[in-house]
Amino acid sequence: MYEHIEIKVKTTKMAHSSDECFTPAMVANLYGVPIDDLFAHTRRGPRAAFARQVAMYLMHVVYGITMSDVATAFGRHPSTVAHACHRMEDLRDDPQLDCHLTQLEDLLRAATGSEATS
């Protein structure tokens, strides 16, 4: 399910080049869900919900954005972001998902020039 990720990143500037815009766009593309589903007020399907949790987790972990700010960006309550982060950490016990998330973290850091926060 979590195969090796090979993503070609466009080096052209995006209309909204902030980390808050790039991360959800990349995750939505990777998981094959419309980006609007990540910001929808309803849960949508399980694929969109999982992608949203991944995006929230990455924004918090990679860029050190507070859970409150991530929640605001997604139109959610901070406890929803906390749940997403805890869930992703729990799921990292799966070596394949752990590798998948590590690759995404590295990709985001490389694409945005961000330093590791851990």
Q: Write down the CATH number for the domain with range 19-112.
A: 1.10.1750.10
Taking only the tens place, the pLDDT of each residue in 58-89 is: 999 999 999 999 999 999 999 999 999 999 99
To the nearest whole percent, how much of the chain has pLDDT over 90? 69
What does the pLDDT read at residue 43?
86
What does the pLDDT read at residue 115?
67
Measured CA distances, 68 to 13, 18, 60, 77 (Å): 27, 17, 10, 8
Domain boundaries, the chain: 19-112
Closest to 112 measured CA to CA, from 39, 8, 9: 9
Confidence of residue 13 (pLDDT cuts 50, 70, 90): very low
Q: Does the predicted model carry a pTM greater than 0.85?
A: no
Inter-residue contact 65 to 57 (CB < 8 Å)? no
